[in-house]
Structure 1
Amino acid sequence: MATTSPAGAAPRVRVRFEPTAVSPECRLGLLPRSGACAAPLPGWHAAQVVMLGGYTEEVEQQQPAAASSAGAGAGAGAQPSVVPAAAAAAAAPGAPAAPPPPRRAPTIEAWTYSGEGGGRWSRVQYAPGPVPQPRLTAQAAVVGDGLWLVGGWDPSAPPDPASPTAAFLNDVWRLDLRTWAWAQVEVVPVAGGEPLPRISRFAMAALPPPGGSSSSGSSSSGSSCGSLLIHTHRCGEAVMVLDCYDGGAGPGGQQPRATLRRVPVRGAAADPHSPPSRGLHSLTLAAAAPGSGSGPAALYVYGGAPQSGSMYGDLWRLDLDPSASGPGSGASGWSWQQLEAAGAAPHARCSHVAGAAAGSGSSSGSSSGGRYLVVAGGSYYSQPGRLQPLDDVAVYDTQTNAWLEMEVEGPPPSARNASVMAPLPPAVATGAGGAVAGGAAAGGAAGTNRFLLHGGWRPFVETYSDSYVVTVSEV
């Protein structure tokens, strides 16, 4: 059922883009990357964002042997000069031969971003032990003191005649954010349930704690440290929920585990239907609409791609019964609402990024998410089989059910899809391309109006490695 706008004029907002981590010494070894996943880190962490996986691209330029090893980090060995493919072509005008094609490969590298000193990326050195296989179009979220990684696609996986879909993954891993040690998660379906299917190009979000209470840190051995809602192209009248148990901290702790339940979700009473099948869409925890009965927060699905046909530009809200989100709950109070928003709707798209920004009066640390749904980039089919990337940004106001007029400041990113965007803590002091470190709650940085946007792909042209701090403010 299409919802109507509540009374009251919609505010105007300003979106500012500011390059960050610009100098080479602030991103040593960071390759152009697309299809990665990223999440805000807990407030106790020294960094603010962790980025994981994705598709990397590099071009080796021939250099004198002496020069090629100059500046290599300790223990790193000689490193090739890494530039996007388009830049490599421009660097050799008049050359008789085309530059070598870029090397593209999935990765499982993790990098952290800190906003201090103009921004800096640092590669994570994993603890000894098992590590997930490379992947892109996966999803990851911080729950407790761990980063939970789910599914994805590994195009480098060797063909398996016995399992043609083996490159699509259904494993779950937990990365300890204190020790950087990986552990594979045992996923157990609830009684009568099905195992986690092989999934990629899906959407995932951490659910607010039952009752809207705040939650952080590790769980006890018998209690859940949080839950993740998974929405795939197979989700029709139900969604999947992964209830996470971190197993306890320290070497004596148990292995992390999770239970998987399939939760029926009804449509609105007057219009009982759900979002059509899609992938490459966004799922964002943001403030609930007034009078929705969803408690302080709701989940918003925007855009995406069907298995065939044009991209979607529709907007849906999943209203959450705050008393029915914990483990063992049937969540019978959850319901979909298709939103017919006022204002000029943005172009349909997939592979975009989205986040929830706070409005005036929002309190940091709240579990309600932000008032404004911010959507940037993505792509659509300009003609059959031809992806056209977008360089725009759009803002939806959850409280007035309207797409807003905006002012855009700063150099925006070029047209691209498959970027990452993660919340940053509220600014403490403004610097060149960022702010000094500040605390924030993990899993959404509720109360923030700042985001880190990184990388992306101009389809079949270039993969990017630039970073921006995106700030949303009311005018």
Structure 2
Amino acid sequence: MAAIARVSSGLAYPDRFYAAAAYVGFDGSADSGKAVTSKFSNDAALLLYALYQQATIGPCKIPKPRAWSPVEQSKWTSWNGLGNMASAEAMRLFVKILEEEDPGWYSRASNFVKEPVEDVEMNHNPKFEPVVGNGNGNGNTFPETKTVPAENGNMSETQDKDVVSEGSSAVSVYDQWVAPLVSGPRPKPRYEHGAAVIDDKMYIFGGNHNGRYLSDLQALDLKSWTWSRVEVKEASEASSPIGPCAGHSLIPWEGNKLLSVGGHTKNPSETLQVKVFDLQSHTWSTLKTYGKPPVSRGGHSVTLAGTTLVIFGGQDANRSLLNDLHILDLETMTWDEIDTLGVSPSPRSDHAAAVHAERYLLIFGGGSHATCFNDLHVLDLQTMEWSRPTQQGEIPSPRAGHAGATVGENWFIVGGGNNKSGVSETVVLNMSALVWSVVTTVQGRVPLASEGSSLTLSSCNGEDVLVSFGGYNGRYSNEVNVLKPSHKSTLQSKMVETPVPDSVSAVHNATNATRDMESELETGQEGKIREIVMDNDSQPLVKKVEETSEHLLSALKAEKEELESSLNKEKLQMLELKQELADAETRNTDLYKELQSVRGQLAAEQSRCFKLEVDVAELRQKLHTMETLQKELELLQRQKAASEQAALSAKQRQSSGGVWGWLAGTPPDQKSDDD
């Protein structure tokens, strides 16, 4: 049976689940689900049955069937194996499995689907219908925008203090999502696609629609807001075709190339594949790499740090969650699996990743088999040591399937799901101070509150803008939304004003900053003292300056010692945690070996028990045969006794014949010999 894992299939709302259940044939009756066996394989049918029971009834509480019935025992085993899985997660997985087994079922299940009624009030309307554009007086029509409903449900006024007069600009409001009027043939709605920006064009590749993986390449001109399909030329000897995929990453490279890294495919390979699309030749090719590549996966994160790609986590082809770290050097094309220090993030997929200051890799959120996270992990790419710093500000709720993009030192996160609903807040993390804040909040069932959308950074009239596309929240989306952030880079001020976070990387930065300041003060104060002596022979003033300098240096040295002490404590605590982890892994290994041994003994005992049962059955059969033979033997013995008695009687009669017997030719003595 396929392994049960949390999958970023969007938010399995009850209406979609019950539509899927009705389509499959589950109606709650005693014969419910019989039709499913004729539509799907045995494994898929059992899994759908178990998920339906878990979603509608809850964890399995019925006793295991005693009667020998393979079907009933298999159904009980499948249901019981789900444990305490949440009902919402069971609904999600039910819909996901159905989409994988029967792509396009939703379009054929119109009789079962009940779409929610849209609210007709403007301030709660979740649709992003743009208003008609205005001309600029030159005969050209520029796209107008409509602001996405914010938390208070009111549209931003054009005379607001945050509105910037930009003439033909498609984005004129800060920190609010707006939907520009786009033209051209829109791509098919999708989620789990890849997105990247090169030369004012946003490229969209692949994704998932109705359970089918896509392989088309689309481009959105961010100046004219026009969609167009990128025609891919046929593969030549030097190029190779690329199949449909989802859950991959699209990375811009060398100014005119796109790298597609990994992803889920119908026929997955054993190792992670990196495909290259050349925007000049319009051809796909496979990137030739060296070393040992990672196993194939999807839902992972791929981050460009300088000239290296950093790959973390995801799900492999068997849907096993991963937390390994691999690096691909794009100069030597060599793979390297990294053995990190510290405590790595737990295995997960559908998380977000970013690189700060070309040195620190940040991992936020993601999901496991049935849980979403909101933890933040930091990896120092120089020391390859993980840390888990303390987050400050408005810490986001747990989520998975969200999208992220960096603007300077600010990391914007949008969308995602938490197994119950879509996340409506757009949040930002100042990566220097590790402080979270909420940028804006949307309302309703809108694409911005969905899983599997993409978020890219572009430029509009010289200003940074964030572009969101697609997603799935019960419906597949192909909407485009744009946000112009007002956050400015505050790295220098935050380093001075904000307290030092309790993370190894932050302590390292603070220690370096203290050393630099100490060095500057030493040289600076020494120069000032010499200047004062040359300009003024006042000894008291020189002495006062020297005392001030010594006081400052003493304070800095004390602060340095305190930071070093804190760092040593952190390292000591980390070593203790490593030792505890090693001990736990050792105990786990021993327990696993013991479990395997017990399983082996149990299997041997079961085999021996079965053999004994067979032997008993054979002995019973032999015993029954022996009883039959005994009866036959007794019958033969009785027949023999009767025959002997008859023979004896005949002999006696013959011996009493006398002279008549002699006349008959049988003398008495000879007759006795013959007998």
TM-score (norm 1): 0.54
Q: Does 1:226 align with 2:185?
A: no
Q: Does 1:308 align with 2:312?
A: no
Give per-residue Cα distances to partners, 1:138-179, cap 9 Å, x unaligned. Answer: 011001121011011112xxxxxxxxx7x2110001111100
- Say if 2:312 and 2:326, in contact at 8 Å, map to a contact too: yes
- Say if 2:262 and 2:272, in contact at 8 Å, map to a contact too: no
Letter in 1 for 2:360: Y
Change (3 A) 1:126 1:340: same
- Say if 1:232 and 1:278, in contact at 8 Å, map to a contact too: yes
Task: Point out the structure with the larger helix share.
Answer: 2
| Structure 1 residue aligned with 2:353 | 354
Query: Given the alignment, which residue of 157, 178, 200 partners 2:223?
Result: 178
Structure 1: 4+ residue segments shifted above 6 A? 65-69, 81-84, 112-116
- Say if 1:230 and 1:242, in contact at 8 Å, map to a contact too: no
- Say if 1:237 and 1:264, in contact at 8 Å, map to a contact too: no
Residue 311 of structure 1 deviates from its aligned partner by: 0.5
Query: Given the alignment, which residue of 239, 242, 266 partners 2:290?
Result: 266
Residue 309 of structure 1 deviates from its aligned partner by: 4.6
- Say if 2:272 and 2:295, in contact at 8 Å, map to a contact too: no
Query: Given the alignment, which residue of 246, 259, 265 partners 1:200?
Result: 246
Residue 226 of structure 1 deviates from its aligned partner by: 3.3
Give per-residue Cα distances to partners, 1:5-57, cap 9 Å, x unaligned. Answer: xxxxxxxxxxxxxxxxxxxxxxxxxxxxxxxxxxxxxxxxxxxxxxxxxxxxx
* Cα distance in 2, alignment partners of residues 275 and 115 from structure 1: 44
Letter in 1 for 2:368: Y
* Cα distance in 2, alignment partners of residues 379 and 393 from structure 1: 13
Give per-residue Cα distances to partners, 1:59-111, cap 9 Å, x unaligned. Answer: 65768x89989xx99859xx9x9999xxxxxxxxxxxxxxxxxxxxxxxxxxx
| Structure 2 residue aligned with 1:136 | 191
* Cα distance in 2, alignment partners of residues 66 and 141 from structure 1: 33
* Cα distance in 1, alignment partners of residues 404 and 170 from structure 2: 12
Q: How many residues align?
A: 283
Change (3 A) 1:416 1:124: same
Residue 357 of structure 1 deviates from its aligned partner by: 1.1
* Cα distance in 1, alignment partners of residues 290 and 216 from structure 2: 28
Superposed CA RMSD: 3.3
Change (3 A) 1:143 1:389: same
Change (3 A) 1:178 1:337: same
Q: Which residues of 2 match residues 455-474 of structure 1 at below 5 A?
A: 455-459=415-419, 461-473=420-432, 474=506
Letter in 1 for 2:302: L
For structure 1, the 5+ residue unaligned runs are 1-57, 85-111, 156-164, 210-214, 216-224, 246-256, 268-272, 288-296, 322-332, 359-369, 382-386, 425-447
Letter in 1 for 2:338: L
- Say if 1:190 and 1:260, in contact at 8 Å, map to a contact too: no
Change (3 A) 1:171 1:142: same
* Cα distance in 2, alignment partners of residues 408 and 67 from structure 1: 34
Residue 243 of structure 1 deviates from its aligned partner by: 1.5
Change (3 A) 1:373 1:67: closer
* Cα distance in 2, alignment partners of residues 312 and 456 from structure 1: 20
* Cα distance in 1, alignment partners of residues 199 and 122 from structure 2: 47
Letter in 1 for 2:414: H
* Cα distance in 1, alignment partners of residues 395 and 248 from structure 2: 27
Q: Which residues of 2 match residues 61-460 of structure 1 at below 5 A?
A: 75=131, 117=174, 119-127=175-183, 129-155=184-210, 167-188=212-233, 189-191=235-237, 193-207=239-253, 209=254, 225-233=256-264, 234=268, 236=271, 238-245=273-280, 258-267=282-291, 273-287=292-306, 297-321=307-331, 333-358=332-357, 370-381=358-369, 387-424=370-407, 448-459=408-419
Give per-residue Cα distances to partners, 1:384-416, cap 9 Å, x unaligned. Answer: xxx211111111111111112413111111111
Letter in 1 for 2:400: N
- Say if 1:341 and 1:401, in contact at 8 Å, map to a contact too: yes
| Structure 2 residue aligned with 1:24 | none
* Cα distance in 1, alignment partners of residues 213 and 415 from structure 2: 23
In structure 2, the residue corresponding to 1:344 is in which secondary structure?
coil
* Cα distance in 2, alignment partners of residues 258 and 66 from structure 1: 44
In structure 2, the residue corresponding to 1:467 is in which secondary structure?
strand
* Cα distance in 2, alignment partners of residues 67 and 357 from structure 1: 38
Give per-residue Cα distances to partners, 1:309-353, cap 9 Å, x unaligned. Answer: 5310111011121xxxxxxxxxxx311111111111111100001
Query: Mean alpha-carbon deviation: is it higher for 142-151 or for 232-241?
Result: 232-241
- Say if 1:60 and 1:82, in contact at 8 Å, map to a contact too: no
- Say if 1:395 and 1:404, in contact at 8 Å, map to a contact too: yes
* Cα distance in 2, alignment partners of residues 421 and 145 from structure 1: 19
- Say if 1:141 and 1:205, in contact at 8 Å, map to a contact too: yes
Give per-residue Cα distances to partners, 1:423-464, cap 9 Å, x unaligned. Answer: 11xxxxxxxxxxxxxxxxxxxxxxx321110111112x1111
* Cα distance in 1, alignment partners of residues 350 and 389 from structure 2: 22
Letter in 2 for 1:300: V
* Cα distance in 1, alignment partners of residues 427 and 170 from structure 2: 11
TM-score (norm 2): 0.39
Change (3 A) 1:404 1:237: closer
* Cα distance in 2, alignment partners of residues 351 and 334 from structure 1: 26
Letter in 1 for 2:179: R
Give per-residue Cα distances to partners, 1:350-399, cap 9 Å, x unaligned. Answer: 000111111xxxxxxxxxxx211111110012xxxxx2111111111111
- Say if 1:114 and 1:120, in contact at 8 Å, map to a contact too: no
Change (3 A) 1:414 1:263: same
- Say if 1:190 and 1:261, in contact at 8 Å, map to a contact too: no
* Cα distance in 2, alignment partners of residues 372 and 261 from structure 1: 31
Change (3 A) 1:126 1:413: same
Give per-residue Cα distances to partners, 1:259-315, cap 9 Å, x unaligned. Answer: 211122121xxxxx221121110111014xxxxxxxxx2001100012325310111
For structure 2, the 5+ residue unaligned runs are 1-114, 133-145, 152-168, 433-505, 511-675
* Cα distance in 1, alignment partners of residues 373 and 122 from structure 2: 42
Residue 191 of structure 1 deviates from its aligned partner by: 2.3
* Cα distance in 2, alignment partners of residues 286 and 348 from structure 1: 22
Higher relative contact order (CA 8 A, sep 6+): 1
* Cα distance in 2, alignment partners of residues 113 and 66 from structure 1: 22
In structure 2, the residue corresponding to 1:457 is in which secondary structure?
coil
Change (3 A) 1:62 1:237: closer
Task: Point out the structure with the larger strand share.
Answer: 1
Letter in 2 for 1:339: I
In structure 1, the residue corresponding to 2:287 is in which secondary structure?
strand
Letter in 1 for 2:346: H
- Say if 1:372 and 1:395, in contact at 8 Å, map to a contact too: yes
* Cα distance in 1, alignment partners of residues 124 and 315 from structure 2: 43
* Cα distance in 2, alignment partners of residues 67 and 279 from structure 1: 38
Q: Percent identity?
A: 27
- Say if 2:402 and 2:413, in contact at 8 Å, map to a contact too: yes
- Say if 2:231 and 2:282, in contact at 8 Å, map to a contact too: yes
* Cα distance in 1, alignment partners of residues 208 and 122 from structure 2: 39
Change (3 A) 1:465 1:153: same
